[in-house]
Amino acid sequence: MTHRLLILATLFALACPPASAAIGSRIWATGGVSTIEGSAGGGLVPWALLGSYASDEEWGGTLALSQAETDDYSLSVTGAGVNWNNRIELTVARQTLDLDELVFSLKDGFGLEQDELNQDIIGAKVRLAGDVLYSPWGQWSAGVQYKRQRDFTVPDAIGARDDSGTDLLLSASKLIFAAVFDRNLLVNATARATKANQGGLLGFGGDRNNGYEVMAEASVGVFVNRQWLVGAEYRQKPDNLSFANEDDWWDLFVAWVPDRRLAVTAALVNLGDVATLDDQQGLYLSLQGSF
Amino acid sequence: MCHHTTPRFTGLARRVLMLLAGFALAGCQALTTAPDSETNSNTEPTLYQQLGERAGLAQIVEDLLYLIVDDERINHQFKGVNVAEFHRHLTDQLCQLSGGPCTYSGRSMRKAHADMAITETQFNALAENLILAMEQNGIGTGAQNRLLKRLIPMHPDIRNL
């Protein structure tokens, strides 16, 4: 937990920097926020946007702390990213899933004593073409997320095949000016080839399916003004394990971007059934600092 | 207040009527969202009016110029520019673009920026300053967005893409 406190302290330092400190030139909120997998996007769905505010002659970076609390689980994510010239984004994220209620069924059903699952994610995203604001066809990016389980005992026991996996992503994002009551509308679509179970927290591949599948993910948001974005996300998921059904995810979010240095995101998330525990709904909160 | 004008309505009734008129107008706006249609009734202000007509635009452009001068990312691109002429041209251009009775008489966007090698960083900086200048002049989010929507198609000409 100490590393999370350190990052929190850094976030506060970033939020009140010396006035002269340089920060990227892209328009407010066009870096999105940090997803639970570290890549720039919303909360659950990565967008074609690259994190931070670096424009074509600039470097930028982000730090993020996120927490999701559903009925029977809590997920903590610490993430960081750098952006070179608004061309390449490199990200790292560590996820910790507290199993809470699942601890008992794991002990009774599998004789396993484990109360959390950890996963590391290294991501890279390249802006292929276009700009989310300025191009009629929007902005297009391709990305990879390499994910590695740090504790494979539980995923192994419930039928996952691998403790690591790589997601391949293709995303498009477009801001449509004055689209809804003269407000700007942000639309994002992502196709993800993946073998990950519950995003990788339950391993990769399974007894029911062990091949790559292409999943559809999308989000829409309306900028009430340049500081407030309200929207929804949907993320289709594979269903590789016969141990438990895996549902699609969705959320309703509001993001507040008071200036380029800070973004606060709150969401109502619905993760559906997760590892035999039904209908996981809850709250998501994320803090992001940019520099 | 205003006892002499419409004595038949109490203050509350007038407020309710205004609220209803507001809803009706919002409804009209929702129904007439054809992208660039400037067909408006007498009650709904045009984009040009929302921007304060030519005088309001002249003030926005003046504030924009102050922001540019202070902006290290782009002020070097404006060295040697005739400020009065630039101010007049840009005001006319925004006036014409927003549906006002002006004619932009400067060079085409592509010709004017052909030798400037404007980067995306610099384009973003100018867009940011324009938004800030509009905010300084109390221009609402909707009107800002509508003007930006009409400016964005100039991006490839200005960036020489």
**Which residue type, as a one-letter code, is found at position B56?**
G
pLDDT band at A85 (very low <50, low <70, confident <90, very high): very high
Q: Do A131 and B120 touch (CB under 8 A)?
A: yes
pLDDT at A104: 82
Nearest-neighbour CA in chain B from A287: distance (Å):
24
Higher pLDDT, A142 or A4: A142
In chain A, which residue's Cα lies nearest the Cα of B140?
A225
ipTM for this prediction: 0.90
Q: Mean pLDDT, to the nearest integer, of A103-121?
A: 87
* More confident site: B92 or B11: B92
- Selected for mutation to probe chain A from B120, B146, B149 (highest A CB count within 10 Å) is B120
Q: Please report residues of A whose CB lies closer than 8 A to that of B148.
A: 177-178
In the prediction, which pLDDT does B19 show?
47
Whole-angstrom CA distances from A154 to A67, A102, A120, A272 are: 22, 11, 16, 20
Quote the DSSP letter at residue B46.
Answer: P
Residue A285: what pLDDT? 98
CB nearest to A183's CB, from B73, B120, B142: B142
Q: Tell me what pLDDT residue A273 has.
A: 92
What is the phi/psi pair of residue B150, to 5°?
-80, -20
Mean pLDDT computed over B114-139: 97
Using a pLDDT cut of 90, give the percent of chain B over it.
73
Q: Which of A21-35, A79-93, A135-149, B62-76 has the lowest mean pLDDT?
A: A21-35
Is the Cβ–Cβ distance between A167 and A212 less than 8 Å? no
pLDDT at A111: 84
Q: What is the pLDDT of residue A22?
A: 73
| CA proximity to B143, closest of B98, B90, B88, B93 | B98
The conformation of residue B149, written as its DSSP 8-state character, comes to: H
Mark yes or no for CB contact A183/B145 under 8 Å: yes
Structure tokens at B90: 């840009």
From residue A246, give the alpha-carbon distance in Å to each of A126, A164, A193, A196, B35. Answer: 30, 19, 16, 11, 42
Confidence of residue A117 (pLDDT cuts 50, 70, 90): very high
Gap from A65 CA to chain B (nearest CA, Å): 28
> What pLDDT, on the 0 to 100 scale, is given for residue B55?
98
Q: pLDDT at residue A61 above 90?
A: yes
What are the structural domain ranges in chain B? 1-44, 53-159
pLDDT value at residue A113: 83
- Per-residue confidence (pLDDT) for residue A9, from 0 to 100: 65
State in words which class domain B53-159 has. Answer: mainly alpha
pLDDT one-digit tens code per residue, B10-49: 454 455 445 445 444 444 444 444 444 445 556 789 999 9
pLDDT of residue A97 exceeding 90: yes
- Give the residue from chain B lying closest to A59, CA to CA: B121
- Whether B127 contacts chain A with CB within 8 A: yes
Q: What is the mean pLDDT of chain A?
A: 93
Q: Is-contact A41 A32, C-beta < 8 A?
A: yes
Helices (H) and strands (E) in chain B, counts: 8, 0
- CATH code of the domain occupying A2-290: 2.40.160.40
pLDDT above 90 coverage of chain A, percent: 84
Contacts of A26 in chain B (CB under 8 A): 124
pLDDT band at residue B8 under the 50/70/90 scheme: very low
Element holding B28 (H helix, E strand):
helix B11-31
* pLDDT on residue A12: 59
| Mean pLDDT for the stretch of residues A33-39 | 98
pLDDT at B41: 54
